A and B are shown apart, each in its own frame.
Chain A
Amino acid sequence: MKTDPKGVLTGEHYLDGDHACAEGALAAGCRFFAGYPITPSTEVAERFCSRIPLVGGIFIQMEDELGSMAAVVGASWSGKKSMTVTSGPGFSLMMENIGLAAMMETPCVVVNVQRGGPSTGLPTMVGQADMMQARWGSHGDYEIIALSPASPQESFDYTIFAFNFAEKYRVPVMVMMDECVGHMTEKVVIPPAGKIDVAYRTMTTLSPDKYLPYVPEKNLVPDMMPVGEGYNIHSTGLTHDERGYPVMSPDAQDKIVNRLVDKINKNADDIIMIEEEDTEDADIIVMAYGITSRVTMPAIFEARKKGLKVGFIKLITVWPFPEKRIKQLAKTAKAFVMPEINLGQVVLELERIVAGKTKVYHVPHAGGWVHDPADIYKAIEEAANGNKK
């Protein structure tokens, strides 16, 4: 489906990642934004609220992030593509209603411009330590989709992907930006509206008396119907049946929770997006995401100059994790090297998947700044020499 041209600022721009994210949302057809100011994400809200009156939509600055996320879930049920943007402390507050969005199967996008944590941490400085929180920060079992842009252009592009995934899978989708990308200014090319593909939730074709809101289709995602159409929809955060009615039983729990997880995991091949470079015959594969995927490049160039066969995987989607592809590569690669601006989060998944087949060299960083490429180079060298970690 082509997007509504009203929100598309076609042309070449010089934008930071935050502003590019707002433009991506508008280009994707987002017409509802609820948010609360927080560094380093506020510029997304500022851009959105300055643009939305003439695009045709609405913006509300809520009283806190609890309310922002709840309003986003409500707005999505009214049929509008909806989003919020925040950073660490706000992301923690949003977890409550991210869980509600997961349970009610509500399409929505949450952008987290990551800063250093825990708690107030480093408000103006980079971090990538909310990656596990993005996946499972709300209580209970569920799966989400998370993307990680490494440039303002990708911030624009991936925000559109995020809305498309949200609509297709009726799930909260996280754009896990980081402070560096949010505040980095680069060229951003916004294509003509006719070149921007957008998805929209599948509406039921059944009449109100036949439609049940939680009967899954073949892809495990139920068709939707917004409020106001006479369908008398009921949706609850409680464990529920196909009618959306609460059912307090282990059987109902088993059914709903497994489907919430399966609708992402069983469609993983359709969702997962990665970039690979020279991985097929690589001895060492470096894996990274977000700003770290760029910081890694000098280390890889240096290693290749020294004659090492180094491949590279950049995660566009971090969750779901590309388990199948990693398993294949683990058969041929001698080792993986993974830098990330945390003390070991996404790397745990890599280690789990390749355990017993190949080694993993983690390059941690507590946050506040990006890695020194020399540290990543050192890890590649160690991996090449087969040094024990």
Chain B
Amino acid sequence: MATKNNNVPEHPMERLLRMDRIPHIWCPTCGIGTAVSCFISAIDKFKHPHEKIAVVSGIGCTGRVAGYIKLDSFHTTHGRAIPFATGLKLANPDLKVVVFSGDGDLISIGGNHFIHAARRNTDITVVCVNNFIYAMTGGQCAPTTPLTANSSTTPYGNHERPFNLPLLASSCGAVYVARWTSLHIRRLTNSMHEALNKPGFSFVEVVAPCSTLYARRNRLGTGLDLLKFYHDSSEICHGADPTELDIAFQDKIKVGKFIDRERPTFIDAWNDNMKKKFGDKFDPYGEKKAKKAA
């Protein structure tokens, strides 16, 4: 194990963290940290050169993830992580591009980009930390806030039906869809690893506690209480029908891998189509010249 000058062993995750940015901004018992740990473990296992992996975040608590990961990383505008990642990936198809952001960022202000990236099967992995609330701005209602839950903009309880994220992703065409809570460390890591290896639009939802805002406002105890509650209320239902994955307030949470299927990615479909149209005049986009010669 690598050691520093003072003989303190290096933390196994240090290689992939920007240690000069630690301590991070997240609250104690926030679920984002564990999601990041799982992600780093998944990257560690992922057989893709690290210099060819890029992480893109939007805005919000989870939007800060890109800033702590020691890979090429971008902290973009609110809701635009997916189109930014689309540009990165299409301009350099050698990259594995991961979007790591929150429910408000990806599904509310970025909802349109989310559904279209899934429809096109853009080859990116999207990790969505769902804490049921806008946390960075102080605990407002999100498109994921369960019915009746309290937030600073639903002080009498939420009256809007929330999105079921795995259903949204799968109905738009995602090729890989999974959901875990932030205490399913091993299973979440495995899903992230599978998602990274899946060509096309892969989606992993991480149900995570927000101690400071969601737990406090709804009198759900500490972040740790909520972390345990989510884990204990979860039921593993691999392959479950995505229409049955709604999350009600403080109720059962169905987790597992729901979708794992094949569809041509955006670039594959572009190349197949142009090849048909132009024949040998067309050089497949993004394929290595060396591969062609071989």
A53 touches B80 (CB 8 A): no
B52 on interface, CB distance cutoff 8 Å: yes
Instruction: Count contacts on B: residues with CB < 8 A to the other chain.
Output: 47
Known contacts: A100-B77, A234-B75. The answer to whether A245 contacts B67 by CB under 8 A is yes
* Chain B residue nearest in CB terms to A230: B51
A364 on interface, CB distance cutoff 8 Å: no
Digit string of B222-256 for contact with A (CB within 8 Å is 1, else 0)? 00000000000000000000000000000000000
B91 touches A32 (CB 8 A): yes
B83 on interface, CB distance cutoff 8 Å: yes
Q: Looking at the complex, which one of A82, A228, A236, A245 makes contact with B72 (CB distance below 8 Å)?
A: A228
Q: Looking at the complex, which one of A74, A99, A227, A238 makes contact with B75 (CB distance below 8 Å)?
A: A238
A137 on interface, CB distance cutoff 8 Å: no
Q: Looking at the complex, which one of A57, A82, A228, A233 makes contact with B95 (CB distance below 8 Å)?
A: A228
B282 on interface, CB distance cutoff 8 Å: yes
Residues of A contacting B86 with CB < 8 Å?
Answer: 34, 60, 62, 67, 70-71, 74
Digit string of A8-38 for contact with B (CB within 8 Å is 1, else 0)? 0000000000000000000000011010000
Residues of A contacting B83 with CB < 8 Å?
Answer: 34, 62, 66-68, 70-71, 74
A79 on interface, CB distance cutoff 8 Å: yes
How far is it, in angstroms, between the C-alpha of A126 and the C-alpha of B86 when the chains are bound? 33
How far is it, in angstroms, between the C-alpha of A73 and the C-alpha of B74 when the chains are bound? 11
A53 touches B274 (CB 8 A): yes
Residues of B contacting A99 with CB < 8 Å?
Answer: 77
* Chain A residue nearest in CB terms to B68: A234
Digit string of B98-118 for contact with A (CB within 8 Å is 1, else 0)? 000000000000001101100
Known contacts: A53-B274, A228-B52, A230-B51. The answer to whether A78 contacts B74 by CB under 8 A is no
How far is it, in angstroms, between the C-alpha of A237 and the C-alpha of B56 when the chains are bound? 12
Residues of B contacting A77 with CB < 8 Å?
Answer: 74, 87-88, 91
Residues of A contacting B94 with CB < 8 Å?
Answer: 228
Residues of A contacting B74 with CB < 8 Å?
Answer: 74, 77, 104, 234-236
Known contacts: A32-B91, A53-B278, A228-B94. The answer to whether A74 contacts B85 by CB under 8 A is yes
Residues of B contacting A63 with CB < 8 Å?
Answer: 112-113, 115-116
B285 touches A237 (CB 8 A): no
* Chain A residue nearest in CB terms to B55: A234
B76 touches A79 (CB 8 A): no
B79 on interface, CB distance cutoff 8 Å: yes
* Chain A residue nearest in CB terms to B109: A66
Residues of A contacting B75 with CB < 8 Å?
Answer: 234-238, 246
B18 touches A234 (CB 8 A): yes
* Chain A residue nearest in CB terms to B283: A56
A74 touches B84 (CB 8 A): yes
Residues of A contacting B4 with CB < 8 Å?
Answer: none
Residues of A contacting B54 with CB < 8 Å?
Answer: 227-228
Q: Looking at the complex, which one of A67, A100, A227 makes contact with B88 (CB distance below 8 Å)?
A: A227
Q: Looking at the complex, which one of A54, A80, A234 makes contact with B66 (CB distance below 8 Å)?
A: A234
| A208: min CB distance to chain B, Å | 9
| B93: min CB distance to chain A, Å | 9
Residues of A contacting B80 with CB < 8 Å?
Answer: 66-67, 70, 96-97, 100
Q: Looking at the complex, which one of A54, A57, A237 makes contact with B278 (CB distance below 8 Å)?
A: A54
How far is it, in angstroms, between the C-alpha of A100 and the C-alpha of B208 when the chains are bound? 29
A278 on interface, CB distance cutoff 8 Å: no
| A74: min CB distance to chain B, Å | 3
Residues of B contacting A67 with CB < 8 Å?
Answer: 80, 82-83, 86, 112-113, 116
Residues of A contacting B277 with CB < 8 Å?
Answer: 53
Q: Looking at the complex, which one of B52, B90, B285 makes contact with A56 (CB distance below 8 Å)?
A: B285
How far is it, in angstroms, between the C-alpha of A162 and the C-alpha of B21 when the chains are bound? 37
* Chain B residue nearest in CB terms to A237: B77
| A213: min CB distance to chain B, Å | 10
B43 on interface, CB distance cutoff 8 Å: no
Known contacts: A64-B112, A233-B73. The answer to whether A73 contacts B51 by CB under 8 A is no
A180 on interface, CB distance cutoff 8 Å: no
* Chain B residue nearest in CB terms to A100: B77
| A243: min CB distance to chain B, Å | 8
A226 on interface, CB distance cutoff 8 Å: yes
B270 on interface, CB distance cutoff 8 Å: yes
Digit string of B270-294 for contact with A (CB within 8 Å is 1, else 0)? 1000100110011101000000000
Given contacts A104-B74, A245-B67, 12 further A-B contacts (CB under 8 A): A53-B274, A54-B281, A63-B113, A66-B112, A73-B76, A73-B84, A75-B91, A76-B87, A77-B87, A79-B91, A227-B72, A236-B67
Question: Could you give 14 example pairs across A and B, Cβ below 8 Å?
Answer: A32-B90, A54-B282, A68-B83, A70-B80, A72-B87, A73-B76, A74-B87, A76-B87, A78-B90, A96-B80, A100-B80, A227-B54, A227-B95, A232-B18
Tell me the B residues contacting A by CB distance below 8 Å.
18, 20-21, 50-52, 54, 56, 66-67, 70-77, 79-80, 82-92, 94-95, 112-113, 115-116, 266-267, 270, 274, 277-278, 281-283, 285
Tell me the A residues contacting B by CB distance below 8 Å.
31-32, 34, 53-54, 56-58, 60, 62-64, 66-68, 70-80, 82, 96-97, 99-100, 104, 226-238, 243, 245-246
